[in-house]
Amino acid sequence: MLRRSVHSPARAAGVLAATAAAALLLSGCTPSPAPSPSPSVSASPGAEPPGPAAPVLVPDGTAEENLPVFTATAEGIWATDQRGFGRAYIDALIGAGFDREAMQVTQDQTTVGNPAESLQFSVRWGDDECLVGQVGPSTGQVVTAVLPQLAEGRCLIGATRPIDW
């Protein structure tokens, strides 16, 4: 004889609730992963992590070794409202330790009085090299290079402005 079991909806809901409660209870028994320790950083209020050291002039170094300080100095002026004035670059390079007597700079203005599209400045380095920078609307950024000296120890071609201040 077959026995037919009859399930009521109330009984099914009770079994389901009991199963869910058991599952929740058992899940509390399983070990959960321990929280991983997070590194702690202790810093003084307002302190920022140190950035890369600013390049410094290496008086007995090569032109290539001094190109980073030459470039950083020029970029510092380019980031100001003095970016179109040759004197600002020369003064900053002198402030960084470069020799005024070894420098050249082109004019800030064209022959008709307009701002120059390009401004060049340089520092003669040793007996055969030059640190040369170029800025202006035509470049849109600071461009620097180590180049060979020209005749008579010059670094720039053409007429340059006297550095007499």
Domain boundaries, given as residue ranges, for the chain: 63-153
Candidates 106, 158, 98; CA nearest to 131 is 98
The pTM assigned to this predicted structure is 0.69
With tokens 């290539």, the residue in question is 64
Interatomic CA distance for residues 43 and 78, integer angstroms: 33
Supply the pLDDT for residue 16: 40
Supply the pLDDT for residue 48: 67
List per-block mean pLDDT (blocks of 10 residues) for the chain, which spans 165 residues: 43 42 42 49 59 90 98 98 97 98 97 95 97 96 98 93 95
Supply the pLDDT for residue 50: 73
105 with 118: CB under 8 angstroms? no
Helix, strand, or coil (residue 87): helix
Supply the pLDDT for residue 52: 80
